[in-house]
Amino acid sequence: MTVAMHRSEDMSFRLGLRKRIDVSVCVDVSLCVDVYLCVLMCICVCVCVLMCICLCCVSRWKNWWIRGVLSLAMISGFFMVIYLGPIMLILVVMTIQIKCFQEIIDIGYRVYHSYELPWFRTLSWYFLICVNYFFYGETLAEYFGALVQREDSLQFLVRYHRFISFTLYLAGFCMFVLSLVKKHYRLQFYMFAWTHVTLLIVVTQSHLVIQNLFEGMIWFIVPISIVICNDIMAYLFGFFFGRTPLIKLSPKKTWEGFIGGFFGTLVCGFILAYLLAQFQYFVCPVEYNSETNRFTADCEPSDIFVMQQYTFPFAVQNVLTWKTVNLYPYQIHSVVLSTFASLIGPFGGFFASGFKRAFQIKDFADTIPGHGGIMDRFDCQYLMATFTHVYIASFIRGPNPSKVLQQLLVLQPEQQLSIFNAMRDRLRDRGILPPVAM
């Protein structure tokens, strides 16, 4: 009898303890995210230390060691930035964008410095400010409607944002025309085009990175991570097994590295998609909360982030021992993203290689030892960001009530009232709202 009572009490204690642990772990989503990111950073630090110990004595692998350690340091920094939240991510994207723009503009300045082109660098940076003002103003109007409604000065800026942006650009255009010098006409127009193409490649696509972020952190993290994974896997397979040259623009690239990077990226993207799809923090759209003045990621996850059961085709069932598999639909989307990152993404790097060969330079800059400049690390990322944005717009994005509400809050009160009355009448006609009492 006593033994039975002890067993019963022990079982009750274990069940109660398990329940408390489950609640404390699963309810607090931020704790799950903290633990996940801390584990990843610890893994990177441990691998970094092991690489230092194993490779520091092998001179033949000196460059491999430098690239590996710095890559792990950058990945650890990436995890830390994710941990700090959307605001920090946006600031980092802006910083990288400005640095990439500087590296490309500096190449043109060094090549044509002897011609003493008037106002070239000044106008280049002025146009950078104008384009950023336009894009971030559009973001403010689209995602910060409640904040705009609360501040009169912001209402004015949002209402006339495109006119102000055009006026600023027009001022730069006039300054360029006034700076034209007879003996340098052709070269000045060449550099004018240089600046605008750089703005198109760097600033426009950086804006798309931020747009992807607002769709959900997972749409920001996974595309960036799989490009990094592809770069690492292609380098490793090429380093150890590379024999067959891939393309003349990049003599060190090999078919073995290209193929190995493809399969490695598929696996990496599939696993990462599974891990991140479990957390609201990553899958929910990033929204501005006007009450707390903070970004939030709190929602009912959409269908692509809900585990579903898929049945294999009969041909596959005859080969495998199981008939169904449980997956997040986002994992299937990750295969598409990984395929693009592996097969098309490297062409961003080849494009950059061709550009550097045209000006007979090895790297865009020497910011990161063993890697070159910031642009050398992000040449594929910009192409990937554009594809992700187009993919979301074409196959993922549906009507977003929160975004519609943000846009409604920017309207004048009489416009809001008109829309309210129209919606009320429409809902009554459809029987969703009760008819007006007679």
- The pTM (predicted TM-score) of the whole model is 0.80
* 165 neighbors 120 (Cβ within 8 angstroms): no
Cα 355 from Cα 390, distance rounded (Å):
25
* 337 neighbors 388 (Cβ within 8 angstroms): yes
* Position 40 pLDDT exceeds 60: no
The secondary structure of 136-181 as a DSSP string is: HHHHHHHH-HHHHHH-HHHHHHHHTHHHHHHHHHHHHHHHHHHH--
- Token digits for 385? 């960001």
Number of H helices and E strands in the chain, helices first, is 19, 6
How many degrees, rounded to 5, is the angle at CA 181 between CA 180 and CA 187?
80
Mean predicted confidence (pLDDT) in 39-60: 50
Question: For residue 396, what are the contacts with CB-CB under 8 A and spacing of at least 6?
Answer: 215, 304, 333
pLDDT band at 267 (very low <50, low <70, confident <90, very high): very high
* 209 neighbors 86 (Cβ within 8 angstroms): no
Q: At what angle do helices 62-84 and 217-241 cross, to 10 degrees?
A: 170
* Position 26 pLDDT exceeds 50: no
Q: Please, what's the largest Cα pairwise distance for the chain?
A: 107
- Token digits for 101? 């723009």
From residue 104, alpha-carbon distances to 92, 143, 171, 210 in Å are 19, 31, 23, 21
| Mean pLDDT estimate for the chain | 82
Q: Taking Cα atoms as reference points, which of 351, 142, 160 lies closest to residue 247? A: 351
* Segment 351-402, tens digit of pLDDT: 999 999 898 888 898 887 767 888 988 889 999 999 999 999 999 987 667 6
The secondary structure of 404-424 as a DSSP string is: HHHHHHHS-HHHHHHHHHHHH
- Token digits for 134? 């336009």
Tell me which of 4-8, 97-101, 357-361, 413-417 is least confident: 4-8
pLDDT at position 67 is 66
Q: Taking Cα atoms as reference points, which of 241, 245, 246, 244 lies closest to residue 260? A: 241
Cα 253 from Cα 374, distance rounded (Å):
20
